[in-house]
Structure 1
Amino acid sequence: MTDTQPTLTISTLAALAALSLAYPLALYTTAHTRASQTHPRDHPQVVRTRLLHVSAVTALSVALVALLSGRPAHQTILQLGLVPGYLCDLGGTTHWAPREYCAQIARALLLIARLFIGPLTDTVLYYAVQGRAAPRVLRGDARASLAHIWAVRDYVCAPITEEVVYTALLVTVAGRAAETSPRVAYAYLPLLFGVAHVHHAYERYTSGGERQLFPLVCGTLVQTAYTALFGAITNYTYLHTGRCLWACVLQHALCNMLGLPGASEVVQHCTVVRVPASATARRLVALWGKVYLLLLPLGVLLFVRELRAWAA
């Protein structure tokens, strides 16, 4: 292995595989964590137990990497990006830079905002058309989205633990190969993140949600590809923001909140729930539906443009 073209050794590949497999395996260690027909993966008891297990596995993985890194444990913790306010350069030197750290977080969130410019604008307009009822509707939606155990899983625990394991730990273990090889950083490592979600197919089958093979396989392939793509995005953010791990965590949480873009909420509300009496308003709603569809590919273009600006 040379400095100009570092490669992944057999031992490194084994370590990467072990780290990436330990996380999903933690979901099946006991009967209380395994999904079934009586207790699917969204059952509150299953969710709570799984949160404890993946948190423990994540902490153990961090401890093992810190102990086996050959460097002082506290230095490895800082290089992973676990401590907010510390950034790490390509040489592995960490420094305290809280202002730059916050700027990198804002930069990372704006990157995702560009990608989702259509859905985000649609959400703002959706509450705008509610008129005086907007605060009440917003409070109700926030309560329905956040006041339950699934929100803790989707917006807190999963973003933190998955980014620690599949971004910080995998990139750190891959070492120079991840820093200098786009193929390693944005293909191999994200693929491990995608493959780690294949077990959802098994859960859908055993819980009775999906029994037909073709849709099960297709759904799994789509989820694996989407997850791997997202893993490439967070790896890119991690390596281009001084290993600002919490920027990746917030990106992950924001993407979980937004989900895959769907139909315009404004159009649905104004054509199904409450149709405007004014013909002009109805025309504006129809116009917005077309603009919304144009904003979806525009968001992708803005996103790619920003990625190129980061690389430059």
Structure 2
Amino acid sequence: MKAVIAGGTGFVGKELTSELVRHRYDVYILTRNMENKKEEDHLHYVKWLTPGAKPEAELAGVDIFINLAGESINSGRWTEERKKRILDSRVTATREIIRIMNALEQKPKVLINASAIGIYPTSEAETFIESSRVAGSGFLSHVVNVWEEEAIQADKAGIRTALARFGVILGEKDGALPRMAMPYKFGAGGKIGSGRQWMSWVHVKDVARAIRFAAENDSIEGPVNVTAPAPVRMNDLGKTLAKVLRRPHWLFVPEPVLKLALGEMSTVVLDGQKVLPDKLLKNEFQFQFPLVRGAIEDLYSSQK
């Protein structure tokens, strides 16, 4: 099997590349910069989004396209300029993916396009699955709606399309968890805001496994919630993190302090939604880390 990954050098992309290569896929990573890119067995690099680049010339016979490309939402305050980059980077990458697939003589079987549970409204009481029709109203919801509208152009071209709506992805060195763990490591961890906001999380290894699962199962298309089956309240997540790291959970960070420090980006930690992976579960996907305690213990096992 041949798979193309846009965003293959990022947090999720690296884990996914390892997952696919382990299962004997030939992986082609789209990149703007070919410097220091060392090809290996089953791993190749293809230039894109640069003047003169024609990636389609190197991608004949590809079965799967996976689009993870886009500027991180967690790397700084959401100024108007950054918000524009966050949206534009996703739209540009997705449109180019669609163009490449349409340019191929033999169309791929499937597009797995990254998305996010930010499309759902924040709530402490409701539970959301893929068939939930309600939509959020903030910046993240707007980004996801626009992003998914671009991606479903592949479906209109006859290519099976899955929209992988990621929850909060937990990894040891990247993603949200290192930022959450830092105060605990200094003995200053504790409740953030009300603590009752939901955290629909997922281990990065399960993200990679779920993407491969969706790629290999023809019955999976449309929105797919990529979240663990047991979301937790933020305060419970903090208590679990404290236990695993053997640190106290005592400090209270009030909501106004976080809003002052992070601006609009504070919504990522102050608000949340309870999201379940209904489609993955109905298709009998087996999570390696269904519970948050096991996920955090796996990520920080070397620190016990």
**Bigger proportion of residues as helix:** 1
- Bigger share in strand: 2
TM range (shorter): 0.3 to 0.5
Larger radius of gyration: 1
TM-score by length of structure 2 reads: 0.32
